[in-house]
Every structure is written in C-alpha cells, then in structure tokens.
Amino acid sequence: MAREDHLVISSGKAVQPFHYAVGLYGSKFFHELKEHRRIVGVKCGKCGKVYVPPRRVCNACFEENKEWVEVGPQGEIGSFTIVRYAFIDPETGVQRPVPYGYGFIRFDGADTLFQHFVELSDERPLKIGARVEPVFADEMKATIRDIRYFRML
Ligand SMILES: [Zn+2]
C-alpha cells in the first residue's frame, strides 16, 4: 500500500452532539475570562505552587487549592511546536489551516503551563522564553476560544 493511501481527506462539517462539564474550578476560570478578561488560577496553601488552568488539588502535596489568584495576562513560551499536518479541527468540524503554532504558555505568576495556539510570524520565529500575550475574542462566550491565540510581544 502506498503511503498516500493512508491519507483520508474529507470536507464538510463534523457534528459533535455532546457537552461536558468543566467543573467548579473550570467554571470560575471561564467566568473570569468571559466577564473580566482576567486569567485566574489557584495557589496551593502549603507549597505555593500556582496552577493555571486551576486544579482543585495540588499534585505536589495533595492539598486542596483554595486561594484564587490573578496571573498574566502576559507570559512566556515554555515549549511549542509548529503543526504542519492538516486535520479536521474537532472544535470547529473544519480543516484547520496549517502551519500554525501551538504553545505551552507560563503566565506571569503561574507555575504550570497553559496550552493554546500561538501566532506564527516570518519575522520573529517562535522560541522558548519568548514573551507572549493573549488575543481575546471579540465576543466572549466562556470557552477556551475566548482566547483566540497568543502573540509575541
Ligand atoms: Zn502544594
């Protein structure tokens, strides 16, 4: 079988008739994002680790994280990749244009990495440690798409 035979190309929209609950901490995160364009996380009361996105229990010392903190909105690229393989975006049901950047962002004041799209630029290639900021959607809907992507400063 030729290598090309493994590639299936489809057009049109894919219907995804399901929803999921983001939980108490995810709800607060998206509420703050939508209503105030603020990035919030939680801080462990024992070790001080700040989680963004927020998680209820610290994975280092198993304490319940109860202190909400605002971080960013700027941060830096902790890691990244450039996606060049076309595929159907499960969030939109249509093929996402390639290439695009996908990064792991550490918001200022956070200890964990936050995954999202990163704008590619011919003039300034992505690099670890590059300063970035989120570009917000015009219409906020309390979803991860409220941040369209991150751009380098
Ligand atoms: Zn901790």
pLDDT at 3: 62
Residue range 29-34: average pLDDT?
A: 97
The model's pTM is 0.84
109 sits in the region (left: phi over 0; alpha: psi -120 to 50; else beta) called: left
pLDDT at 18: 75
Contact 13, 35 (CB under 8 A): no
Dihedral over alpha carbons 46, 63, 30, 52 (to 10 degrees): 50
The tens digit of pLDDT for each residue in 103-131 reads 999 999 999 999 999 999 888 889 999 99
Q: Give the least confident one: 1-5, 125-129, 132-136.
A: 1-5
Protein residues within 5 Å, CB atom, of ion ligand 1? 44, 46-47, 49, 58, 60-61
Distance 66 CA to ligand 1 centre (A): 11
The tens digit of pLDDT for each residue in 70-95 reads 999 999 999 999 999 988 877 777 88
Distance 103 CA to ligand 1 centre (A): 25
pLDDT at 2: 61
